[in-house]
Each structure stands twice: as structure tokens, then as C-alpha cells.
A = this chain, B = another copy of it.
Amino acid sequence: MTKYGFLGLGIMGNAMATNLVNAGLDVTVWNRTREKCAPLVVLGARQGNSPAEVTGQCDITFAMVSDPAAASSLCFDSEGVLEGITPGKGYIDVSTVDPATVLRIAGAVKNKGGRFLEAPVSGSKKPAEDGTLVFLCGGDETLYQDAQPALQLMGKKSFYFENVGQGAQMKLVINMIMGTMMTAFGEGLAVGDKAGLKIVDILDVLTQGAVDNPMFRLKGLQMVQKNFSPAFPLKHMQKDMRLALQLGDELGQSLFTTGAANNWYIKARKGGGANDDFSAVFKYIADQF
């Protein structure tokens, strides 16, 4: 039976690992703050003591951490992932990180004979819980095939691209569109509100038109209710916007709209909304607190 490892049990990682454990897979979990492992151990997971140990004991190890610095640290620190990699081991980083970081990790893993797959996800808390994430994979195709049982438990669909870094880039493209749509949405609702229109009416009209989408439906209602409990924390969306803008700068693509949106997220992050859902950017757009 394939042994799976899972490193990083935040909002996303916990939900994803739970789906693996509940399906009866052999899963060893690890998290920096050890207590977060307890609920999974109750469900049947093993407890790992370090990333190195988990990677060393498992065939395929997943990692889900919050940013490039954390992903690097997880891999390269003492007792980190790299120390557990031996020939044939599979390491799948499902975090969203910048291309440079993911290439560095991929190179180090391959250098020790391991197999590497980046697999950043599209989807946040609810899809993670429901096992309906979308995986954007780049790298070792044999690992992509071997990991199918786990990927299919955690997601509804996965895409495979040949090169490491393309998954991360695809993720950034998706999230920059999503993040900018959210500020466009917020600006529209805010100006409508100031004009005396009811936000629920605006939402109602939007559902009838060509731009109707699940995000507007779900987040729109939550924004009316001032419910900003985090499915996708604002600071993470802002990080993705920043990375997308850096990608555009590097490639010579002017991103005026995305750049403006990013500055709204920076304002919201600095203003106290870092850990709210990214839809909380609306409060800072509309000055409604």
C-alpha cells in the first residue's frame, strides 16, 4: 500500500489530508505546531516528527504551506524535506509559490534522485473540504500518474503541464484574474450602494447576465452580511497578485488593471484585513467598517 505524507495542516492542508485519511489511505502528517495533527491522528493518520522523517518514510509526500519562504524553509531547513529524499521518492508541493522558488526546490529534489511535481490548487476552503479542488501540475509525469488516487480524492480535476513552473504560472494567472474581478465587483457594489441601489438587487441582476459566476454569488451574499471569515485569506490573495505582477514585469506585460487591484489589497492588508477572506477588500474600497 502506497504510503502518503502530508506536511502543513492549515485551513487547506487539514481539509485535504482529512479526505485522504477518511478514504482509508496510509497517511503520515506533520505540522510545525504539532497540536494541529491531533484531529487527523484521531481519524487514523500517523504522526510524523519532522519533514525529513515523513519524506523518508513515505512514497509520496504532499506539502501545503502558505508562501515561498515557507516552502523553501520546509524543503531546505535542517530536518527538512530534502534530508528525507532518496531515489524514487515523490514530493508534491501543492502550495502556491513563485516560479523561481519552485524551480529551486525541484532541482534539489531531482539532484537527490527524487521525483518532483508542483501541483498548486485552484479552489479554497470549501472545495478542499469537498474534494473538488483543481490541481495544476507541472513536472515528473510518472509521479503525476502514481499520485492519481490521492489527487482524485482531493480534487475534481487535475491538469498536467510538462515543465515545473507552469503549474505555478497557471495558478498565478487564474488568481490574478480572480483577485482583480473581486475589486471590480467591489467597486461596482460600492458605487451602486452610494447611488442608493440595494446591493441585493445588484447581485440579483448580475445572476441574470453574462458575468454570472459562483464567486459573485457566494461572496456577494457574504459581503452583504459582512461575513469575511476566511476561505482564502486576503494576505494570500495579495501575495498572488504581487507574484503575478512580478511575472508580468519580468515578461514585459503591462498590467494596469491588476496593478490597481493589488494596491487595494495592500491597503486592506495594512488596514487590518490580512487574515479576513479576500472579499474583505470590499470594506476598504467602500470605506464601510
Interchain nearest-CB distance for A10 vs B (Å): 19
B contact residues around A286 at 8 Å (CB):
253
Q: Is there an interface contact between A266 and B285, defined as CB atoms closer than 8 Å?
A: no
B contact residues around A209 at 8 Å (CB):
122-123, 134, 174, 178
Interchain nearest-CB distance for A222 vs B (Å): 13
A39 within 8 A of B: no
A257 within 8 A of B: yes
Most buried by B among A181, A196, A254, A270: A254
Stretch from A15-23, A58-66, A76-84, A197-205 contacting the other chain: A197-205
Interchain nearest-CB distance for A220 vs B (Å): 11
Q: Is there an interface contact between B156 and A208, defined as CB atoms closer than 8 Å?
A: yes
Q: Is there an interface contact between B213 and A170, defined as CB atoms closer than 8 Å?
A: no
Q: Chain B residue with minimal CB distance to A124?
A: B210
Stretch from A30-38, A41-49, A88-96, A240-248 contacting the other chain: A240-248
B contact residues around A211 at 8 Å (CB):
174, 177-178, 181, 213-215
A286 to B271, CA, bound (A): 11
- A 235-289 contacts with B by CB, 8 A: 242, 244-249, 251-264, 266-267, 269-271, 285-287
Describe A's contact surface by its main secondary structure: helix
- A 173-206 contacts with B by CB, 8 A: 173-174, 176-178, 180-181, 183-185, 187-192, 194-197, 201-202, 204-206
Q: Is there an interface contact between A170 and B205, defined as CB atoms closer than 8 Å?
A: yes
A99 to B122, CA, bound (A): 33
Tell which of B161, B195, B201, B244 touches A247, judged by Cβ atoms closer than 8 Å. B195
A249 to B249, CA, bound (A): 15
- 26 A-B residue contacts at CB 8 Å? A159-B201, A161-B197, A161-B201, A170-B201, A170-B202, A173-B188, A173-B195, A173-B202, A176-B187, A176-B191, A177-B187, A177-B206, A180-B181, A180-B187, A181-B211, A191-B251, A191-B253, A194-B248, A242-B246, A253-B266, A255-B266, A256-B256, A256-B260, A259-B260, A260-B260, A270-B287
A136 within 8 A of B: yes
A204 to B157, CA, bound (A): 10
Interface residues, chain A, with chain B CB atoms under 8 Å away: 122-124, 134, 136, 156-157, 159, 161, 163, 166, 169-170, 173-174, 176-178, 180-181, 183-185, 187-192, 194-197, 201-202, 204-206, 208-215, 218, 242, 244-249, 251-264, 266-267, 269-271, 285-287
B contact residues around A210 at 8 Å (CB):
123-124, 178, 213-215, 218
